[in-house]
């Protein structure tokens, strides 16, 4: 599932007339920030290997580093990083290098980076991802990790000396693509008739919904409690790997698992819920990339009746 849309927009200067706005998930909270004028920082352009060591550039300028914590996050590091990478490319930046903990170089790669100290920024050696990008004299590095039930994101950017260094602000991503935070859930469902329940977690190939008090299910239960005549359908979707028949069955089983959780833990009447499965017949995006397949595996809530 994908991350929630109401996000922190991290504005990264991209030349005198443009800015790169990166949408972080809604639960992201700034934990620490550091700014150093006239300095340099290592930005990885390739993996660490026993033969060559780290492949790093050392851009100089104003170095700004920010650490965010996503409390209660159930999304994966790939689900956090992939939308950021898409935004970077769409803004005309060049992605220099991206990797996960295994392909980056594990322990040695991690310890060659500059990372803000714990607990503001925590990096699990078994679950992190990295991305570096460049736009002329601007450099950007993103480090994402998961540990102890939370996700951590560090943004490091280098701007030419004297260039303005932007601050973070709040913005909303396009509606309907991913699940809104609880406060906007009802408005989004009423307006669009559908919401992706992006914080749900299923094991690969499994129909069993993972444990946890999912914010999207709490928001849906609150919505239905406030509107006793509404009914909804939970619709499961898969990526395009495997046979259609099997994918339709799996997607419906996942939707049914969500229905069961809403009934058993959130007190929603089963008569107000219906489970359906579309398999891979209604993708959000391409199934030709890992990021696209990740986005296409989802459960949506569909509004099925008016008041």
- Note the pLDDT tens digit of each residue in 190-214: 888 888 887 788 766 778 888 777 8
Is residue 1 a part of any domain in this protein? Answer: no
Are both 272 and 191 inside the same structural domain? yes
CATH number of the domain to which 69 belongs: 3.40.1000
Of 153, 172, 191, the residue that ends a domain is: 172
Are both 144 and 196 inside the same structural domain? no
Distance in angstroms (rounded) separating the CA atoms of residues 305 and 307: 7
Are both 167 and 288 inside the same structural domain? no
Are both 152 and 186 inside the same structural domain? no
Note the pLDDT tens digit of each residue in 226-277.
999 999 999 999 999 999 999 999 999 999 999 999 999 999 999 999 999 9
Are both 201 and 141 inside the same structural domain? no
pTM value?
0.55
Of 141, 172, 203, the residue that ends a domain is: 172
Phi then psi for 117, rounded to 5 degrees? -70, 155
Q: Count Cα neighbours of 29 within 13 Å in the Cβ-side half-sphere.
A: 9
CATH number of the domain to which 288 belongs: 3.30.1330.60
State how far Cα 264 lies from the chain centre.
28
Note the pLDDT tens digit of each residue in 98-122.
999 989 998 999 999 999 988 888 8
Is residue 177 a part of any domain in this protein? Answer: no
The pLDDT value recorded for residue 62 is: 93
Are both 186 and 162 inside the same structural domain? no
Of 147, 172, 197, the residue that ends a domain is: 172
Are both 228 and 131 inside the same structural domain? no
Phi then psi for 212, rounded to 5 degrees? 130, 155
Number of structural domains, the chain?
A: 2
Domain that holds residue 12: 6-172
Residues of the chain with pLDDT > 70, as a percent, come to 81
Are both 186 and 131 inside the same structural domain? no
Is a pLDDT exceeding 70 seen at residue 26? no
The helix/strand/coil state of 21 is: strand
Are both 163 and 281 inside the same structural domain? no
Angle at 283 between CA 289 and CA 178, to 5 degrees: 90
Is residue 267 a part of any domain in this protein? Answer: yes
Distance in angstroms (rounded) separating the CA atoms of residues 165 and 10: 11
């Amino acid at each position: 599932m994908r991350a929630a849309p109401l996000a922190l927009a991290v504005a990264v200067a991209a030349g005198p007339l443009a800015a790169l706005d990166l949408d972080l998930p809604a639960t992201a909270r700034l934990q620490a920030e550091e700014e150093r004028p006239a300095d340099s920082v290592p930005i990885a352009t390739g993996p660490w290997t026993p033969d060559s060591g780290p492949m790093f550039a050392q851009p100089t300028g104003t170095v700004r580093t920010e650490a965010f914590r996503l409390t209660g996050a159930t999304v994966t590091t790939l689900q956090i990083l992939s939308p950021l990478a898409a935004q970077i490319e769409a803004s005309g930046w060049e992605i220099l290098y991206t990797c996960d903990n295994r392909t980056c170089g594990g322990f040695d790669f991690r310890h060659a980076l500059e990372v803000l100290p714990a607990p503001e920024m925590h990096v699990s050696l078994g679950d992190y991802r990295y991305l570096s990008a460049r736009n002329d004299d601007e450099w950007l590095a993103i480090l994402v990790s998961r540990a102890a039930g939370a996700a951590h994101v560090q943004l490091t950017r280098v701007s030419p000396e004297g260039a303005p260094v932007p601050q973070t602000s709040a913005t909303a991503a396009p509606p309907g693509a991913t699940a809104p935070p609880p406060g906007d859930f009802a408005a989004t469902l009423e307006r669009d008739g559908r919401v992706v329940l992006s914080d749900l977690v299923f094991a690969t190939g499994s129909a069993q919904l993972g444990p946890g008090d999912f914010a999207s299910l709490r928001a849906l239960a609150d919505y239905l409690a406030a509107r006793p005549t509404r009914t909804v359908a939970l619709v499961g979707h898969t990526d395009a790997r495997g046979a259609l028949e099997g994918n339709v069955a799996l997607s419906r089983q996942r939707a049914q698992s969500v229905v069961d959780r809403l009934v058993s833990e959130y007190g929603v009447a089963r008569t107000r819920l219906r489970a359906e499965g579309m398999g891979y017949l209604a993708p959000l995006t391409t199934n030709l990339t890992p990021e696209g397949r990740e986005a296409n595996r989802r459960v949506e809530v569909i509004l099925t009746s008016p008041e």
